[in-house]
Amino acid sequence: MVENDGHCRNTLILNRPEWNVLEGTQADLQFFDGRPFKGIDLLAGGLPCPPFSVAGKQLGKADERNLFPDALRVVDETRPKAIMIENVRGFLGAVFADYRQQLKRQLAKLGYETD
């Protein structure tokens, strides 16, 4: 588990003590090295939503909190059998159509079909 919020991390550790919940820089997706996990079955995660939320400024890929590039790097490093990345409904807006297509093309280059 990669979780950079201390409260969430503590909740995970309390409720799932058998899980490997990373701390420090390892718990930051920007610094996470997925190579030791190559070949996992599933890479699942929720990326920060403010860059794409209709309640925010909708800066998308220009927002420093956009972790899609880091998620794609981890996909490349781990090469999981399946990927599930969730975000907010605002990500489906027309304003992000080009960015979604770019992400789909990058995943296709890695050998993944997207929907």
Which residues are tagged catalytic? 49
With DSSP H G I counted as helix, E B as strand and the rest as coil, what are the percentages for the chain, rounded to 5?
A: 45, 10, 45
The token duo for 82 is 């399946």
Question: Cα(94)–Cα(99) distance, rounded to whole angstroms?
Answer: 10
Sequence-distant (≥ 6) Cβ neighbours of residue 31 within 8 angstroms: 25
